[in-house]
Amino acid sequence: MMQIADRDRDEWPEPGTRLDLIADAQRVGLDLSERLFTEWRRLGLLGAPQRRRSGAHGQELALFSAEQRVLFGAIARDRVRGVSNAWLAAHPVNAWLNFGDGWVSIKQLRAALTTAVGNPRLSQRVAAITAKTLVDQIDVNNASVQARAYFKKEVTEQLWRGRIDETRLLGAVTRVFQPGGLVIIRGADDASLHIDAVTTWLVATMTAVRKSKSITDEQLYEARLQHLASLPGYLQGQAERQAQGGPQLAHLYADMAPKDLAMQAVGTLLLLVGLNIQRDRKAAGAP
C-alpha cells in the first residue's frame, strides 16, 4: 500500500476535474472508465468535488481538492498492483483518521468503511473474509490448520448471525493463540498478548463491525481524538516494546511508517469504536 502523506506539499498537484483524475489514472497504467469512476465515488474511494459557478460558456466541471487528487493517485497506483477494493478503502479511512476532514469527509469515510468491512449480516462469504482477516492478525504462534479453521468458522457464524458470544470466542482464541492449554503471555508490558487481551480486542472489533451501520458521527470523532492523543506516546515507546517482545514478536512492534499506519487504519478505528460502544453499554447497565 502506498503512502499518501509523505510528499512535500510543493509537489502536490493542483485541484482537478474528473477528467484530470481520469488522466492521472491513465498515466499510472489504469484505464478508469466513467462508470468505474462513478463506482469509486459510491465505494468511498473518492469523495465529492466542489461545484463551481456557471460561467459565460456554461457550467464548469466540479473540482476535486488537491488532497483528494493525491489520495486518488495512491489508490490508482495500488489498483494497478491488483489491490482489492476492500484494501483500497483503507486509504481514505487512514486519511480521515490521521490527517482530518480536510482530506476526507465523514460521508466519504462511512462509504469507505463499508467497503473495507462489508456487511457480514448479508453474506456468509463477507463474514468469512472478515473472519480470515481477524485470525491472520492474532496467529503469532503458527496455529494448526484445525485451530485456524475452528476460529474462522466461529467468527464467521457470529458475524453472520449478528450475535457475539464472548465465551465461545475465548475458546476459539485459545486454540489459536494458546495451543495445548499452556498459559502464555507474550509481548511488551503495556501491550502484552494473552488470550484475555486478544479476546477483548476481537470482541470490540467484531462489535464495531456488527454495529457499523449505526455508528454515530460522534462515536467516530471520539475514536479519532483518542487515536491522535495516544499515537505519539505509542510511537515513542516502540523501541522498548521491540526489546520486551523479543525476536518472535518483533514484527508486532516494528517502527510505524506511514504505510503501516495506513494498513492498520481500519482495524484501529473499529477497535476504538467497539471499545467505546462496550463502555457506553456498561455505563447504561446493558448486558
CB atoms within 10 A of CB 21: 22
**Rounded mean pLDDT, 110-120:** 90
Q: What is the pLDDT of residue 2?
A: 46
| Segment 213-271, tens digit of pLDDT | 899 999 999 999 999 998 877 666 555 555 555 555 454 455 555 666 677 889 899 99
Q: What is the pLDDT of residue 128?
A: 86
DSSP for residue 16: B
User: What backbone torsions phi and psi does residue 236 show, to the nearest 5 degrees?
Assistant: -65, -30
Q: What angle do CA 51, 113, 11 make, to 5 degrees?
A: 55
Q: Which three cell numbers stand for residue 25?
A: 489514472
Helix (H) or strand (E) holding 281: helix 258-283
Q: What is the 3-state secondary structure (H, E, C) of 84-114?
A: CHHHHCHHHHHHHHHHCCCCCCHHHHHHHHH
**Bridge partner list, 192:** 187
Q: Give CA–CA dist 175/179, Å, rounded.
A: 5
Is the pLDDT score of 112 beyond 90? yes
Is the pLDDT score of 166 beyond 90? yes
**Rounded mean pLDDT, 66-95:** 94
**Rounded mean pLDDT, 158-177:** 89
Q: How, if at all, do strands 186-188 and 58-59 pair?
A: unpaired
Q: Is the pTM of this model over 0.95?
A: no
**Bridge partner list, 193:** 186
| Residue 265: C-alpha distances to residues 43, 51, 231 (Å) | 17, 30, 12
Q: How, if at all, do strands 54-55 and 58-59 pair?
A: antiparallel
Q: What angle do CA 263, 264, 269 make, to 5 degrees?
A: 130
**Rounded mean pLDDT, 187-205:** 72
Q: Give CA–CA dist 203/131, Å, rounded.
A: 12
